[in-house]
Amino acid sequence: MPELPEVETVRRGLQKLIKGYTITAAHELHPRALKPESIAPLKSINGAKFLDVKRRGKYLWFLLDRPQVLVAHLGMSGQFLIYQKDRPEAKHVRAKFELSRNLRKRELVFNDQRTFGWVSVEEVNNGIPTSAQHIATDPFDPLFDRSETINKFAKRNMRIKTALLNQEIMSGVGNIYADETLWRAKVHPEISTADLTKKKIAKIIDFATEVMQEAIAKGGTSFDDLYIDVNGESGFFEQSLAAYGRTDQPCPRCGSMIRRITFGARSSHFCPRCQGKLNL
């Protein structure tokens, strides 16, 4: 599933390529493309101009020259792609937006092989769309309060890996970057937040910020063509992964074999030596 670095990469690409364009025609091409809670069909935003593209955690939304916004979640395999003549056409287009600016035309499509992603027309409250009201700020949000977030983690009594994935505590981190964060912090994924000092929690947050910043700089992580940017390009952070997906490969830090465990329907990759449960 695309995480914050992948979604931020898409946001930046969209901001660069469609800002200032007007939607001349918006089409729903699959029954699951539009979120059921959408307040209107896509055609309701025909004639709207894209003013900007915003993000909170893994949620994207397009600011329009009207009160409503177009919100999107990429789900497992959602992609926003700008049609280009020299590239193969997308095979799983769920929604299409015909755009125009100063007689220049573009076509933006929402492609989603697994159909867990969606788009939605929504209202906003305090600048945040309805769908994202429950989502916490992420470390790159100007409103992110590091001290408050540390306290949120400290008040919980759950595995730290589970807490990192909880988008209501701190948003943006998914399975990949949780594993990488905990590897850098030398923390076992099953350790409870209640057993971590606030100083250690602060380091975990800082490492999460660091690893996601590095991933953004490399266009995110692409294991297959289910994640690509708006130009159809893959990210290169996979080459920098130290733990995630490296089962039975040597830890880059100590040489021990990376292990994979499963809990809560999630898998976790970690170094049993560097991230021993006593390394608090």
Catalytic residues, by residue number, are 2-3, 58, 266
Residue by residue, DSSP assigns 100-147 as: EETTEEEEEEEEESS---EEEEE-EETTEEGGGTTPPP-TTSTT--HH
What 3-state class would DSSP assign to 205?
helix
Burial label for 254, CB within 10 Å (0-12, 13-18, 19+), is exposed
* Buried residues in 47-84 as b, exposed as e (16+ CB within 10 A): ebbbeebbbbbbbbbbbbeeebbbbbbbbebbbbbbee
